[in-house]
Amino acid sequence: MKASTLFSITLALLGSTVNAFNLADVKKTTTGSVVPGRYVVEFDSNAHLTSSGVKRAASPHEAIYAQLKDRNTAYTVHQEYSSDLFIGASITLDSDTDLANLLSAEGIIDFRQVHLLNLPAQPVNPQSLQWPVAAAFSGSGSGSSKPATTTTSSGQVSTTTTCSGKGKNQKCTTSTVTSKPSATASAVNKGFSILSQIGADTVQASGNKGKGVKIAIIDSGVDYTREPLGGCFGNGCKIVGGYDFVGDSYDGSNDPTPDNDPFDNCYAHGTITAGLIGANDNTYGVIGVAPESSLYQYRVFGCNGATTDDIVLQAMQRAYDDGVDVINLSVGETSGWTESMLSVFASRLTAAGVVLSISAGNQGQVGAFYSYSPGAGIGAINVGSNDNAFYPAQLATVSTGYGPIPYFDYQGFTPGTYPLYAYTTDPTVADDGCTVPDGTPNLNGYVVLVRRGGCSLLQKAQNIYYQGGRAMFVINTANTAPLYQNFPLDFGFISYEDGNYLLSQINNHTSNTTVSFTFNPYQAPNIWTGNITSYFSEIGPTNDLFFAPSLVAPGTNIIAILPANMGNFTMVEGTSYSAPLVAGASALYIASKGNNNVSPDKVKAALESTADYLSTSVSDNTIANVAVQGSGKINVAEAINPGVVVSPSEILLNDTAYFAGTQYLTLTNPTNKVVKYKLSNVPAGTLLAYQSGVNQSNDQPVPQVSQSATVKFSQSSITLLPKATWVVLMQFNAPTGLDAKQFPVYSGFISIQGGSTNVQVPYLGVAAKMKDMPVLDPTPYYLGMNTPTILGADGNVQPSTGATYNFRNGSYPTVIYRLVGGTPSLLIDLVSSSASLSFTPNYTTRKRSNVEVERELELDLMKKSFLESRKINSISSSSSSWKSSKSSSLTSLYCQLTNYKGNGCAAFNSGKNNSFAKVPILGNLHEDDYIPRSTDGVDGNGGTYSTFALETATFTNGTTIPNGTYRFLMRALHITGDKSNEADYEAWLSAPFTVAQ
């Protein structure tokens, strides 16, 4: 059987998780979120001083700019950074020659390319969904067109004010509206608060509501005119301060227009996050976690489009300068690494004493090893999502005394009493409501019953609406979760059992039985997925094997506050909304300790060690893998009063090459009593991150197997005197009998029982060598063709014999490729078509040294490199040693840009073991660092492949490529690989192509 046929069968067996790929849809551009030519550059804080400490310029910035001017470098400064954590600037350069000039300047330490960050999904359409009124029922049909008689309570008459502009420049109009009655005081007590699910209700009941803690929200702006958000901005208000870095019109591609007022009523995201952290009591009872904290809103998104991470960095620095205690960041981008720019700065902030709560991301569908930045920052709290324990619903009463009936609409139907109508009561009618039967009357005034299935809910709702109806119950199928819809009529699911009862009361389509509605919130138990990690929640770990997520909090079925012009309230889901809950919980913890400069590591440790670990599903009690749930769901009440204080709160076992099996736990008895503690290993499921025999990652739900690590304790039982501390030694052994090619992620918890509450510490490791993780995808798994490959001028695969390009009218080559694993460095260089590379590019197998001694030396170097990566790079707030020299990545790129002829590159190139630099490249064409793997598109968010387009015949240093015949050489560094060792890269050599300008 041919390999291609076998692979087709394999794909067929895999099912429909892989989306169709169409080569015609590939754009001949270089993919990625990089803003061309724009960099965040870090300066040495002493760049403006001479060796004797005398100022030669007013500031490091002036010193760097002067050097650029001396080199005739064209540059534009966008942002400047001046703090004890980061000194530098965001700079756009006109060419890569200018970049080489920048990197060669004295006082440059490091740099990162600037990326676009897309706005998180708008949780609600600012325009209320409407259907044409003119198309509504007009009395046609054989049935009576007279509306049914109803008794309704009158709605409240109130005014609504809509404003545009900001602050003193606002223009407002007021109109009278009739709305559904607001909740009574008793109804508020039955609202949709999730505080009890994270222990925050207990903490608030004790009097702790976060007073005195300053929380920054870096997001879109906020509609602070909403009463639950205080109604004002500035001193004495709930939203105490903040800044708008962008303005309404900013979309990521134009110039921002900053001002001092973060007001925003065009994009809801920031208002929602602010409400989840600090809202006062309100109609739906969704009080913020820390309602007495002081909020600072930093707007980094306009009304649509995107932002850039250099602006987010500016906001992070501003929050630090304003002295906040906690920062919430419900923004991010795919990375998989702790080394992205925002992750590095997040690491520095935590080291400087700021707690960071950051959303983990919403692409959990694509499987493991796909974490987000800046949540990957070391020390930051990376927050995933678990499903809410309830579905928001309302209770309706039935005139027969049956019920009450829960219906799944958090807002509630228009108050009143209504008769029932059904097209049919026959359960065998599969398409109930998909068409309107002849003789159907005007449905105005009825609650119309239809069964689920047969056609879309939209079609059923429109049929009712256009027949005059304004209220409908969808009878759910048995044992199925309900759905919510934003239709312009009252819409709600009811259970299969309740629906059948109501249908039984109907004869000849109508019934004397009535249903009455008042505002009566009900938390319907989520028996399907409650307290299980959400399907969309990002799955880690990072590629350098740090926890991602750190923990989880409820992130589905969340009732949240909107700007006034968007309807005041909505229901949302996402890790964007679980992160603010953790930010608020962090504030409660800090306030409980008297605001005495509680360090971020203690806040994170307290929340992690007292979290509640979650099961794989409601029907499978196996503990979910730590890569999925982190330490579990937070319980801030227990975090404040733990049964034992333990450190560390995470155990990182690494992979099999650098296995860290010997670990220590420090236990402290926080009570005034003698306590006996017992330690035990509680294994969690082991994730099989990659598919067996296919070399591709597994989608969610990632398979789990039972093989687990074993642990030996120096003491499994310890008795501690009051306030006493003890250290326990542990020896871990990784699970056996697993296929290393599936990159099994094993995990579990060290449980410590005996105090007033149980405490557990999660651990995680990989039963494989991360260096063996494949990077370049040589299979037709997704693209249906072998890759990497060159696409010609016509967009089709270039012939293997070659092609000629004149670089006019779209005549240029484009490389298309997929990454099945992340890589710290990806390079595309140009080589002669007849070049002797001293190695055979073959990315389908691992390249190994034939000399065992060299292999052992290489392993030692690799281990040293990997252990160094375990240290927090450039984050020490107490030492300036990290500000002393250029980073290795900067030096590497500079030497590539100058083809190893720049100042200092001779030594860089002459290292005895630097086999990478000895490859005879003609010049570099493309370089990208710390990039994530590709996906298979199962989540619908793209990222399935990458392209590089050589649109102009120039090297990255700006010099022209002479006419001739060449090949692309693509190299991708393996995780934990040594950049100077060619054997640590996967390499691909392209077919020849000719440059003929």
Catalytic residues: 219, 269, 576
CB 291 within 8 A of CB 209: yes
The whole-angstrom separation of Cα 254 and Cα 265 is: 20
The whole-angstrom separation of Cα 740 and Cα 577 is: 36
The whole-angstrom separation of Cα 367 and Cα 334 is: 13
Query: What's the gap between Cα 468 and its chain centre?
Result: 43
List the beta bridge partners of residue 612: 633
Tell me which residue of 285, 518, 559 sits closest to 404, measured CA to CA: 518
Q: What are phi and psi of 761, to 5 degrees?
A: -120, 120
Location of structure tokens 């296995």: 659
Sequence-ordered alpha helix ranges (H) in 55-211: 60-70, 96-104, 185-188, 200-205
The whole-angstrom separation of Cα 79 and Cα 91 is: 7
Sequence-ordered alpha helix ranges (H) in 803-851: none
Got the DSSP string for 739-779? -GGG-EEEEEEEEEESSSS-EEEEEEEESS-GGGS--B--S
Using alpha carbons only, give the angle 367, 372, 374 rounded to the nearest 5 degrees. Answer: 165
The whole-angstrom separation of Cα 410 and Cα 426 is: 29
Tokens of 219: 């997001």
Tokens of 575: 């890790």
Burial of residue 111, with CB atoms counted within 10 A of its CB: 0-12 exposed, 13-18 middle, 19 or more buried: buried
CB 301 within 8 A of CB 219: yes
End-to-end CA distance of the chain: 45
What is the H or E stretch that residue 605 is in? helix 600-609
Tokens of 64: 């760097």
What is the H or E stretch that residue 590 is in? helix 575-592
Side chain identity, residue 267? Y
Cis before 549? omega within 30: yes
> Within a 10 A sphere around the Cβ of 428, how many other Cβ atoms?
6
CB 486 within 8 A of CB 458: no
Location of structure tokens 């890790």: 575
What are the C-alpha distances in Å from 396 to residues 220, 518, 608? 37, 7, 41
CB 965 within 8 A of CB 774: no
CB 353 within 8 A of CB 382: no
Got the DSSP string for 487-540? -SSEEEEE-HHHHHHHHHT-BTTEEEEEEEEEEEEEEEE-TTTTTSB-TTS---
The whole-angstrom separation of Cα 323 and Cα 358 is: 18
CB 757 within 8 A of CB 642: yes
E-strand stretches of 495-649? 510-525, 551-554, 558-561, 569-572, 615-617, 620-623, 645-647
What is the H or E stretch that residue 307 is in? strand 306-308
Side chain identity, residue 385? S
Tokens of 277: 């952290």
The whole-angstrom separation of Cα 899 and Cα 919 is: 11
List the beta bridge partners of residue 13: none
Tokens of 442: 């005007």
